[in-house]
Every structure is written in structure tokens, then in C-alpha cells.
Amino acid sequence: MSILITSDTTVIIQGITGREAVTMTREGLDYGTHIIGGVTPGRGGREVHGVPVYDTVEEIAKKTRVDASVISVPPAFTRDAVFEAIEAGVKLMVVVTENIPRFEVAQMVELADQRGARIIGPNCLGVLSPDEAKVGGLGGRAEDAKKAFTKGPIGVMSRSGGMTTEICNTLTAAGLGQSTAVSIGGDAIIGQSYAELMPLFEADPETKAIAIYSEPGGRMEADLARWVKDHNSRLPVVAFMAGRFMDEMPGMRFGHAGTIVEGKADTTAEKIERLREAGIAVAERIEDIPVLVKEKL
């Protein structure tokens, strides 16, 4: 079973005529994703790889059910695009755009919360449910995604899109398939954190364990550790913490916008301690993740 998306999920792409969105459309269709339309204002009536283009989300929503939208528009227009999708009734927005001002992301997240919708990202590669659908650029070309991601019992979450694929590929090579992989985004403010997605995996009877990739900066690991302890989670969690050298370089950014170490609680050492206190195993190397997962199952 999957969380967030399945083979029945109907998907649109906002900004579908942009170069990256055209590629995502091709890759998604090849993977089997049910992409029913795209939106680019002023370009309604065209097609992208056979997918009809509309001027507004509302035009599509009036014709058919829209479950999810990939937002691939320039940063200056992203907030309006997300607002448009939410107001049209879309419940899942995958925002791949980066460099969106923080206060605009906060506004997007607040409106989504008010409307009972979810935002994945921004600055993410999306969501992939093996053998069912992929929403966003996660995994790249369909033939590559089918090699790296396989159906199975492990939920995967990562702040890095590339490392999401790397972890899944490592799990696949060890015979451990994935229920759903989520690239949650690397910005300081994002729609859904590890802790906020945990209830979905917890409610999925086919998910048996969780693997996460983490980086310095931010409080998401502390929130995850607290959630696991407070809810006595049935799911064993294995984490890999990158950027351990950053503990000696306060104020430096590891890579993503949300990875600045501003205080002791942001350091990898502090994060690892919190995770272990919650019973979460921490892998020294990526290739150790499958070993630890198998020990926990």
C-alpha cells in the first residue's frame, strides 16, 4: 500500500510548458502516472506529450477530479499557483520550485492547513510509489526509476531528492522494496516534515519500517524523535546523518537552504543523540541502512 499517491491519483502539472515540466510530464507518463492535464496561463488549447494544456486549474477541476498538482513555475509565481490549486480543491501540491521567499512559503503552508490540503516541498523532487505513480522528477527517467525503486515495506523520507533515490536504490539492491518515497525538500520552511508524514506511514499496514536521510540544521529530527516516543510508534526507523564535519563550522550551510547550523540543537551530534534516545538507529554509511533495517524488522 502507498501513502499520498497511488495508480488512481489524478495529477496535473502547473507550468507544464516549461522545459523542466515538459521533461517531468514525459517521465511521469512513461512511469504510468495518471497525468490528466497541465496549466500555463495563455497557452490553453495546446498539448504537451498528448496532455491537454489549460489556462487555469479551475478549468480542469470543473471537468474532472484533480487529486494532485506538481507546481513547476518561476519562484515569483509559485505562491499564486499554489493558492490557485488549493482554491480549486486540490489536496496535494508537490512544489519543485526553489528560491521561494520564506514568508510566501509560510503563507502557502498556512492556507493549505486551513483547507485540509498538503504541500510537499518546496525545493523537492516529489513523491514516488513504486509500480504505481511518481509525482515530480524523483527518480528521473521511467526506466531508471523502475530500477532504483521497487515495491516493498520500507517508507523513505529525505530532505535531499538525489539521496532519496540513492537510499531506495541501496534498499532495492538489498532486496528491500519501498512503500512510498518522499523527497520532502531542503528549505528552512517546508510543507510536510518527517514527523508530519509519520502518521500516514503508521496507518499503512504494509509499511514495516522507515528510512530517512538527514542533514545538519533545523529541528525536524528532534520533532521526529519526539513523535516516535510520544506515539510509541510500531515502525522501526533507521536514519543516515550527512555532514557530520559541519559541527565544527557553525553558520556554514551544508547545501540546502535549511541546513545552516545556528545553535547546538542544529548540530549532527545533537541530532544523532536525540534520534538514538528515541530508539532510532543511525547508520554510519548509506550502505549500512539495509543491514540496520533488516535487524529491526
3-state class of 141 per DSSP?
A: coil
**How crowded is residue 102: how many other Cβ atoms within 10 Å of its Cβ?**
12
Is residue 210 classed as helix, strand or coil in its secondary structure?
A: strand
C-alpha cell at 274: 536525540
Pairing of strands 68-71, 51-54: unpaired
Residues noted as catalytic = 256
Which candidate, 182, 127, 177, 185, places its Cα nearest to that of 147? 177
Q: Is 203 exposed, middle or buried (0-12, 13-18, 19+ CB in 10 A)?
A: exposed
C-alpha cell, 124:
523537492
DSSP state of 267: S
The full DSSP string for 228-256 is HHHTT-SS-EEEEE--GGGGGSTT-B-SS
Spatial separation of the C-alpha atoms in residues 12 and 64, rounded to whole Å: 11
Q: Exposed (0-12), middle (13-18) or buried (19+): which is 260, by Cβ within 10 Å? A: middle
Measure the CA dihedral 181/239/170/257, to 10°: 60
Which of these, 176, 242, 241, lies nearest to 210 by C-alpha position?
176
First to last CA, the chain: 18
